Structure 1
Amino acid sequence: MQLVVYILVYPLLWLISRLPFKVIYFISDGVYALLYYVIGYRKKVVRNNLALVFPEKSKEERLAIEKKFYKHMCDMFLEMIKTMGISKNEIQKRFTVTNIEVLHDLEAKGINTMLMLPHYASWEWVLSLNLQIKSKGYGIYQKIQNKYFDKMIRDIRSKFNTQLISTKESRKILKAANESKELSMVGIISDQSPMVSRAKYWTEFMGITVPAHVGGEEICKHNNFVPVYLKVEKLKRGYYQGTFKVLFDDPTIVPDYKITDAFLKETEKSILEAPEYYFWTHKRWKHKDKVPKKFQKELKAVKS
């Protein structure tokens, strides 16, 4: 069945990836109308998230953010497909960097980096950074159940020399790379909601107490990868700009969970600047009422 679905869908995706951007965004407009007005895809989740995070905003203001978000989400989905057929020159025009010298300076010192970013603006085209650096690029991702689509995603995201590694195999591979003295840059999206049973740390994100993923921080500390936040801004339709910020120079001496907190604070800044580009369909705050008593005491101690 997996192969049948893949055979039916792949030709359509390939065809879309060869279309010019004007046509791509025409299709995106149609998908938006269908998804938002007809299907209402995850509209309840989006509205609940926006009401939770922005209680001070009026219903009209949140509705405006909601519509802009759905338009952006459709654009980004089509842009991801377009990546299959985009050229190196084209993607470098559409995803630029304000301070690539930050990475170059770290590389010159032989320092490995952990590029931490949220589900914000465009995380797909961040992979084009590998065209501008010397480091071996790795991307940590969640494996897709359909093995054929999983391979397709691997192929798309490795187009610009990024090696995708699943969350399960990441620690072993990165440890080996570090021990071999390989110059590496690892990309990880760190704003997801972990399972409550596996949560090691709870903190405030957008003013709400939630469990936080600490895998990126642990890899940094275990392998001495310098954590770097990548702020991505959407300049206009189809054009993005990234800016790097080193969070800590020496992760091995940073107190536990401070790297995670620093990352989340930078993510909050991005969201507050332009909330329509955050991925509001995720149930990021679904565990807000499940804070264990142990963590409740710790949080009270920190606040006091």
Structure 2
Amino acid sequence: MSARGTIRALVTASAVSGLLASGAGARTLDLADPQDAVTVSRKMGCSVKDNVPVVFHWTGRAYSRVPGEPDRHLFDVEGMNIRQCGTVTDPERGTGYRMVSRELMFYQDPETGAVLDRWTNPWSDETVKVYHVANDPVNMHPVYPVGAGGEPYAIPNAAVKGRWFSMPIEVPLFYRNPLGGAYQDYVGNKYHAMEIFDFSAEAETVLDGSTDTADAFVAWVRIADWLPWMKMGGRPGMMVLNATGRMLGGFSDLPPAMRERIEADYPAFTAPPPVDDRRPNETSWTYFKKQIDAESARPE
């Protein structure tokens, strides 16, 4: 039997064993077991039940960092991601899951907390229109107990620390900027950012084979280029965002003010995409480009 075949057989046996154990009563999931690791990963992000919407909600602050001047608290932020998972199977890689989602984040006045429609740039004194984050979809590649190269799945850097389970994720981003031209390989201007997620939950809940979700908390840091709608041009500097949040049961558990704004202005975001959604992912930059292009195409 090939190495991949051996791993697949072990994973299949583990899955069967887990189903038998769950029928007899709850068992403790084992992070060293690839099938259990997939289950833990799924519980930290959504529900082990298919087509059950889950929401992450977060609040935080956004700062500027410019060489030679103090950091400025530019905005508060409030965001949500509504998602669901579906089971997927592969003859070589076993049974896993795929997560699909939509996400919104509003920029708020740091003094009043009001959602901003216009913002005065303190460096240029120009008042600009605010484009909030409205990314639809934000979907992930399937997660299987067997990796693409035949390796057993493991959650990188996941650990149990006392009563807490932690799952840190760093996402370095460096790719062609959709607002740039065709010559970025020669002149630079590629999009450059770092996303840092630190998920945590009570280990007892995460590793309990009878629970559907982990009731997870998240800390999120984003270090990135200026937001395009700020019209900063080539001014040196960057944005630093810091936020914390948690998993909620569903859309109805969001704060009332946010829920009402979504229902009025972003009704598609009251539910996740279907689990078979195959659209390309949206980013803040691609969404902004679509908005600007659409506005430019409108007759005067």
**TM-score normalised to the size of structure 2?**
0.28
Max Rg structure: 2
Greater helix content: 1
Which is richer in strand?
2
TM-score by length of 1: 0.28
